[in-house]
Amino acid sequence: MNDEIKGCATKILGSPDAQVVQTREIEMDEPLLICGFPSAGVVGTIAANTIIEQSDMEEIAHVRSKYMPSAAVFMDGRLRHPFRVYASKNRKLLLVTTELPVAEQGMYHVSSALLDWAAELGVKETVILDGIPVQGMPSDRKVLYAAEEEKIADLAEDKEMEILRKGIITGIAGSILSETLCRDMVGFALLTPALTMIPDPEGAAKLLQALTRLYDVEVDVSELQESADKIREKMREMAKQVDGMRQGQQPGAPTEYQRIYA
């Protein structure tokens, strides 16, 4: 069956606590569901937006919940739903992203409604793109994975990735992965070390390269890599400035960093 997206009467699935509002009709054969949320280095969000821009994706649904902040999101001056679902016309891809957090007490409701809706569309695999927070520029940019048992063998074939032996994935990403365990759906995460406080396009590029190897997503990451080079150079300049300031201080004098955070 050819994938099709067309206008339709609004469909609502879920409970009063969380609902998926589908505004466009869609027919796809077992699409891959990709989730990119704000995290360390906002790598998930950067990766998601890159896929949306390069894969000709259209917004087909959004999530409503009382557990999300009452806020409006603007893009190029246009209002957008804070928690959006996109689909590709030409590829078997669904993508979920948001700029706003989901309250802890509402994560089950939101993730459950989203995956119930995705299951009706035939989704069999769900992947989370996320960052692992580290201090300073990461020295090792390998992509790590965590997956359900039946997916580990497939991921292990990619020698450029490594399994994440132990850890906890929290937030809406962790809630979605927990819910895949309760369904006829395989969930897994692709993770990479990322800068904590500033956008990290290099981390997003690494995740997209891994996703392309696994699913032939074919995303051009050259712009992300150029942005990463600029950020890396700025961080080197800042490090030199800080080092120069420390050398110019009298012995025993507190540094600016110590004064701020003491």
Q: Which of 102, 100, 96 is nearest to 33 (CA)?
A: 96
**65-89 pLDDT, tens per residue?**
999 888 878 877 888 888 999 998 7
Q: For residues 47 and 87, state if they share a domain.
A: yes
Residue 99 sits in the same domain as residue 16: yes
User: 183 exposed, middle or buried (CB, 10 Å; 0-12, 13-18, 19+)?
Assistant: middle
Q: For 63, phi and psi rounded to 5 degrees?
A: -105, 135
Query: DSSP class of residue 30?
Result: S
Q: In terms of domains, do 201 and 241 share one?
A: no
Provide the domain count of the chain. Answer: 2
List helix spans (H) across 62-189: 107-120, 149-156, 171-180
Give yes or no: residues 27 and 134 share one domain.
Answer: yes
Report the pLDDT value the prediction gives residue 233, as an integer from 0 to 100: 65
Q: In what order do the strands lie in the sheet with 93-98?
A: 4-15, 18-27, 57-65, 83-88, 93-98, 32-36, 125-134, 186-195, 143-147, 161-163
Q: Is the pLDDT score of 247 beyond 90?
A: no
Q: Are residues 247 and 185 in the same domain?
A: no
Residues 241 and 177 in one domain: no
Do 108 and 203 have their domain in common? yes
State whether 211 and 231 are in the same domain.
Answer: no
Per DSSP, what are the bridge partners of residue 58? 87
Question: With 70 as the cut, is the pLDDT of residue 194 above it?
Answer: yes
Q: Are residues 133 and 232 in the same domain?
A: no
Average pLDDT value for residue range 110-133: 93
Q: What is the CATH number of the domain that holds 102?
A: 3.40.50.10900
Residue 186 contacts residue 147 (beta carbons within 8 Å): yes
Listed residue (170, 165, 156, 252) closest to 213, CA to CA: 156
Which pTM was predicted?
A: 0.82
Same domain, 46 and 66: yes
Q: Check whether residue 59 and residue 159 sit in a common domain.
A: yes
| Mean of all residue pLDDT scores within the chain | 82
Could you list the residue range(s) of the whole structural domain that residue 235 is in? 222-262
Q: Please indicate, yes or no, whether residues 213 and 229 belong to a single structural domain of this protein.
A: no
Residues 6 or more apart whose CB falls under 8 angstroms from that of 187 comprise 125, 126, 127, 128, 147, 148, 176, 177, 179, 180, 181
